[in-house]
A = this chain, B = another copy of it.
Amino acid sequence: MTPANREALSRLLAARPTLVDVRPAIEAVPGMTRDTILHAGPPIEWPRMSGPLRGAVVGALLYEGRAAAPADAERLAAAGEVAFAPCHHHDAVGPMAGVVSASMPVLVVEDRTHGHRAFAPVNEGLGRVLRFGAYSADVLERLRWIETALAPALGEAIRQADGVDVHALIGQALQMGDECHNRNRAASALLVKTLAPRLASLDLAPAARRQALAFIADNEHFFLKVAMAACKAALDAAHGIEGSTMLTAMARNGTDFGIRVSGLGDAWFTGPAGRPEGLYFPGFGPDDANPDLGDSAITETAGLGGFAMAAAPAIVTFVGGSPAEALSTTRRMYEITLGEHDAYRIPALDFRGTPTGIDLGLVLRTGILPVINTGIAHRRPGTGQIGAGIVRPPLACFERALEAAAAAPRGVAG
Contacts and interface: CB of A to CB of B under 8 A. Distances in A.
Interface stretch (A72-80, A183-191, A249-257, A362-370): A183-191
Interface in A189-224: 189-190, 192-194, 196-203, 206-207, 209-214, 217
A271 interface: no
A82 interface: no
Name the prevailing secondary structure of the A interface residues: helix
A404 interface: no
A329 interface: no
B176 A197 contact: no
Given A186-B189, A347-B313, A203 B206 contact: yes
A208 to B, nearest CB: 9
Among A194, A197, A348: residue with most chain B CB under 10 A: A197
A213 B200 contact: yes
Interface in A310-365: 313-314, 316-317, 322-324, 347-348, 350-351
Number of copies: 2
B177 A197 contact: no
A10 interface: no
Contacts of A178: 176
A175 interface: yes
Among A176, A194, A199: residue with most chain B CB under 10 A: A176
Contact of A217 (B175, B194, B217, B314): B194
A201 B197 contact: no
A200 B196 contact: yes
Nearest to A199: B200
Contact of A314 (B175, B192, B211): B175
Contact of A210 (B190, B200, B213, B324): B200
Contacts of A209: 197, 200-201
Contacts of A317: 351
A24 B353 CA distance: 47
A347 B193 contact: no
A201 B192 contact: no
Interface in A278-322: 313-314, 316-317, 322
A314 B346 CA distance: 9
Contacts of A190: 189
A177 to B, nearest CB: 4
A324 B347 CA distance: 10
Interface in A167-186: 172, 175-178, 185-186
Contacts of A196: 192-193, 196, 199-200, 213, 217
Nearest to A324: B350
Given A175-B314, A196-B217, A202-B206, 9 more contacts: A172-B185, A176-B177, A176-B314, A186-B189, A197-B213, A198-B210, A199-B200, A200-B212, A201-B210
8 contacts: A176-B177, A176-B314, A196-B200, A200-B206, A201-B206, A201-B207, A324-B350, A348-B348
Going nearest first, the 4 A-B pairs with the smallest beta carbon separation are: A313-B347, A201-B210, A200-B200, A189-B189
